[in-house]
Amino acid sequence: MRSTDQIMHKAAWLYYMHGLRQDEVAKQLNISRASIATYLRRAREIGIVNISTSTQLFSDDVLARKLEDALSLDAVWIVPEDRLAIDPAAEMPVVAAAVFLELINKGDRIGVAWGRTVYHLADIMPYADLQGVTVVQLCGNLGAPYNYRPDQCTTEIGRRLNAEGINLYAPLVLSSERLASDLRNEPVIREQLASIADCQLVLYSVGGIESDSHLVRCGALTAEEMQALGESGAGGVIAGQVIDHEGRWLDCPHNRRCISADLEIIRTIPKRMMVVEEDSKFQPLVAAIKGGFVSHLVVTHSMALRLLARWEAEAPRRG
Amino acid sequence: MRSTDQIMHKAAWLYYMHGLRQDEVAKQLNISRASIATYLRRAREIGIVNISTSTQLFSDDVLARKLEDALSLDAVWIVPEDRLAIDPAAEMPVVAAAVFLELINKGDRIGVAWGRTVYHLADIMPYADLQGVTVVQLCGNLGAPYNYRPDQCTTEIGRRLNAEGINLYAPLVLSSERLASDLRNEPVIREQLASIADCQLVLYSVGGIESDSHLVRCGALTAEEMQALGESGAGGVIAGQVIDHEGRWLDCPHNRRCISADLEIIRTIPKRMMVVEEDSKFQPLVAAIKGGFVSHLVVTHSMALRLLARWEAEAPRRG
DNA sequence: ATAGGTCTTTGACTTTTGTCAGCGTTCGTG
DNA sequence: CACGAACGCTGACAAAAGTCAAAGACCTAT
């Protein structure tokens, strides 16, 4: 520990745990109050000091309870679109990050997929000091029109949480099924994909199948290919892989050429946290939920209403 | 949720998660800034907002590493007695409380014993919002010369953590072995004692066997009885029960008349956090460590030095 | 040895936050 | 329905925290 880190720790301890004022801390440590203020800010930024707020505000809600019951989910958080005059688009990642942090336990292994949503989340993720946590990349890499590529995203989340980040050094999609299969069987990659089963928590969103969807924009698929997939029953995208409307892995060239977490394995992970920002992802989300990819859900108020209506419409048919 | 709680949550969210200033929050929620300040203080007090500082300052230390290695402990925290001009006696419970909170995971079941130390800890324990946590009482009740009796102590810790507190409705010591045995077999009590095996974490200190020790002061034993125990090999007290110098349960009238957690069960709990405030407890602590009752240890610097010296003195004999 | 760079520290100033008496509202009670 | 207690809210002031330019410390390369 550097000596300035030591001072920062001491300052943080005296200020936050003992409740001394900055000038009192300054007197204790024999440096100016201005310095103390600087150290404290750094301690907060680095995650030495953790300030967290319960996300109860978003989960304590009649609609959330109803959704949990109707869709058999473990927990639902609903982001209001009207009440607070905060920009709802900016609010979603903040809520998601807070929920994510709440779901992490010390020593956990956490899988993260990639997409606009996860990228946004990484970008505003607060710093924390979660020693013993490992963040693993669920899907292969690809070029991206954002600041972070998938591997950078995993690394960034790991960095901010003071956790270990493990990258998957393979492309998301290969040009031939043969190569994809060979690569999946490479010991390094195979072990890494298998180790995803040890995760206690995964974080992802669901991708749409429109011609301007994420996979298309990142160049993994052409608009035509995507459209063809849509016509042959594609319902959404999970960790780079296409699923049908019931959430089953779709047997298609793209999926066969894909290096990503086994969907069967993902389903067995205890906490599967899904964040959906855009209302346009209703159909894909329904598919993901039906496929068992969701145990913890963060959605907008209007999306929650639509989901509930959908399940209530189906309920009579079942019961 | 009361509407004022709702406002408090919103204020806390906007202030701590979005980083708005109090006046901005006030404008958002259409109330005066002074009220916001009040809400925020309440949110902190209640544990809606959690501010925690890493205890690294106390564990990141050469001596701590050495102790962990020498005594095969999972983690050691050392409270300095000189560096910070904070009263060391007051510092110990603060460190212990922070460590305790760090060791808790969501959903855990936690056993707490009772003694001066645990009482001090309960008294300064910060408020937190650990839903799904259960705090169980490890040992029976007895009158106490402190503010809290064992059951109140459990309840108080539970209350502050927003966790469920489960009390053991039995006295610590009974007048006859027969009655103690019968009571232990009462379904309610038996189940509760058995359920201690499900704990992921226990918190306790170790008791001394001097004639002014805790058990004597609380009236569980007379000074003469305690002295006799000392002469027949008693080394310390764990959860109200006397152990010998090697940390084994001592077969004595007191132990046979005692209602408390089975020591065998305690040894199997993964995280066994021990806090020792007084340097006079050196011998009992040695017994507790030898008996396998400690995996996480919080001690003073001088106690750490004595422990290390003791183990280093023994090492040559073993190796 | 020294010039030039980076990182710390500080005093002085500004902004933000904490506090508290007093006012208004609500709610339970006689 | 009137009364008082309890609670929430506010404005004004006091206290504490944040900020920043400038000075100083420290390191490195010439």
Over residues B122-155, the pLDDT tens digits come to 988 998 988 889 999 999 998 777 777 888 889 9
CA–C1' span, A41 to D15, in Å? 20
Mean pLDDT of A142-155: 82
Q: Point out the least confidently predicted range of A64-68, B196-200, B212-216, B235-239.
A: B212-216
Q: Point out the least confidently predicted range of B40-54, B185-199, B253-267.
A: B40-54
Q: Which residues of B touch A94 (CB under 8 A)?
A: 17-18
Handedness of CA A175, A180, A186, A189 (dihedral sign): positive
User: Which among B28, B43, B48 is the nearest to A84, CB-wise?
Assistant: B28
Mean pLDDT of B268-296: 96
Q: Is the pLDDT of residue A286 over 80?
A: yes
pLDDT on residue A142: 87
Q: Is the pLDDT of residue A2 over 90?
A: no
Mean pLDDT of B170-194: 93
Residues A156-183: tens digit of each pLDDT? 999 999 899 999 999 999 999 999 999 9
CA–C1' span, B19 to D27, in Å? 37
Beta carbons of B138 and B196 less than 8 angstroms apart: yes
User: CA of B1 to nearest chain A CA: how many angstroms apart?
Assistant: 8
pLDDT on residue A101: 94
pLDDT on residue A56: 85
Q: Is the pLDDT of residue A84 over 60?
A: no
Residue A319 banded pLDDT, cuts 50, 70, 90: very low
Beta carbons of A208 and A286 less than 8 angstroms apart: no
- For nucleotide D10, give the residue with the nearest CA to its C1': B32
Q: Is the pLDDT of residue B242 over 80?
A: yes
User: CA of B218 to nearest chain A CA: how many angstroms apart?
Assistant: 31
Mean pLDDT of B182-194: 93
Residue A317 banded pLDDT, cuts 50, 70, 90: low
Instruction: Please answer yes or no on whether B49 and A53 come within 8 Å at the CB atom.
Output: yes
**Dihedral, B83, B88, B91, B96 alpha carbons, nearest 10:** 100
Q: Is the pLDDT of residue B245 over 80?
A: yes
Report residue B34 as tokens: 């002074």
Residues B2-38: tens digit of each pLDDT? 677 888 898 999 999 988 989 888 888 888 888 999 8
Nucleotides of D under 7 A from a protein CB: 7-12, 16-20
Q: For residue B247, is it left (φ>0), alpha (ψ between -120 and 50) or beta?
A: left
CA–C1' span, B265 to D11, in Å? 61
Residue B176 banded pLDDT, cuts 50, 70, 90: very high
Q: How many beta carbons lie within 10 A of that of residue B34, not counting itself? A: 10
pLDDT on residue A83: 56
User: CA of B45 to nearest chain A CA: how many angstroms apart?
Assistant: 12
CA–C1' span, B89 to C18, in Å? 30
Q: Which residues of B touch A16 (CB under 8 A)?
A: 51-53
Residues A188-239: tens digit of each pLDDT? 999 999 999 999 999 999 999 998 888 898 888 999 999 999 999 999 999 9
pLDDT on residue B214: 87
Q: Is the pLDDT of residue B319 over 50?
A: no
Q: Which segment, B54-68, B214-228, B253-267, is predicted with the most confidence on average?
A: B253-267
User: CA of A51 to nearest chain B CA: how many angstroms apart?
Assistant: 4
Residue A149 banded pLDDT, cuts 50, 70, 90: confident
User: CA of A267 to nearest chain B CA: how many angstroms apart?
Assistant: 22
**Could you give phi then psi for residue B271, rounded to 5 degrees?**
-110, 115
Mean pLDDT of B53-69: 89
Selected residue of B52, B101, B108, B200 to mutate for chain A interface (largest A Cβ count, 10 A): B52
Average pLDDT of chain A is 90
Residue B318 banded pLDDT, cuts 50, 70, 90: low
User: Which among B16, B56, B84 is the nearest to A28, CB-wise?
Assistant: B84
Nearest Cα to A237, choosing from A125, A138, A93? Answer: A138
Identify protein residues whose C-beta is within 7 angstroms of any atom in strand D. Answer: A 15, 21-23, 33-34, 37-38, 40-41; B 4, 7, 31-35, 38-39
Q: Give the 3-state secondary structure of residue B61.
A: coil
CA–C1' span, A38 to D16, in Å? 15
Q: Point out the least confidently predicted range of A43-52, A248-257, A289-298, B181-190.
A: A43-52
Instruction: Please answer yes or no on whether B57 and A129 come within 8 Å at the CB atom.
Output: no
Q: For residue B168, is it left (φ>0), alpha (ψ between -120 and 50) or beta?
A: beta
Percent share of chain A, pLDDT over 90: 61
Residue A316 banded pLDDT, cuts 50, 70, 90: low
Residue B163 banded pLDDT, cuts 50, 70, 90: very high
Beta carbons of A264 and A272 less than 8 angstroms apart: no
- For nucleotide D15, give the residue with the nearest CA to its C1': A21
Average pLDDT of chain B is 90
| Chain B residue closest in CA terms to A95 | B17
pLDDT on residue A79: 92
pLDDT on residue B31: 86
Nearest nucleotide from residue A33 CA, by C1' atom:
C10
| Chain B residue closest in CA terms to A10 | B57
Nearest nucleotide from residue B34 CA, by C1' atom:
D10
Q: Give the 3-state secondary structure of residue B283.
A: helix
Report residue A13 as tokens: 């301890």
Cα separation values, B167 from B123, B261, B290, Å: 18, 13, 29
Instruction: Please answer yes or no on whether B10 and A84 come within 8 Å at the CB atom.
Output: yes
Mean pLDDT of B180-191: 93
Q: Give the 3-state secondary structure of residue B6.
A: helix
| Chain B residue closest in CA terms to A101 | B106
Q: Which residues of A touch B50 (CB under 8 A)?
A: 50-54
- The residue assigned the tokens 């003694």 is B115
Q: Is the pLDDT of residue B294 over 90?
A: yes
Residues B83-107: tens digit of each pLDDT? 555 677 788 999 999 999 999 998 9
CA–C1' span, A37 to C1, in Å? 37
Q: Point out the least confidently predicted range of A84-93, A151-160, B239-248, B300-309.
A: A84-93
Instruction: Please answer yes or no on whether A56 and B84 come within 8 Å at the CB atom.
Output: no
Instruction: Please answer yes or no on whether A50 and B49 come within 8 Å at the CB atom.
Output: no
User: Which among B48, B57, B84 is the nearest to A53, CB-wise?
Assistant: B48
**From CA A201, how far away is CA A236, in angstroms rounded?**
21
Q: How many beta carbons lie within 10 A of that of residue A47, not counting itself? A: 16
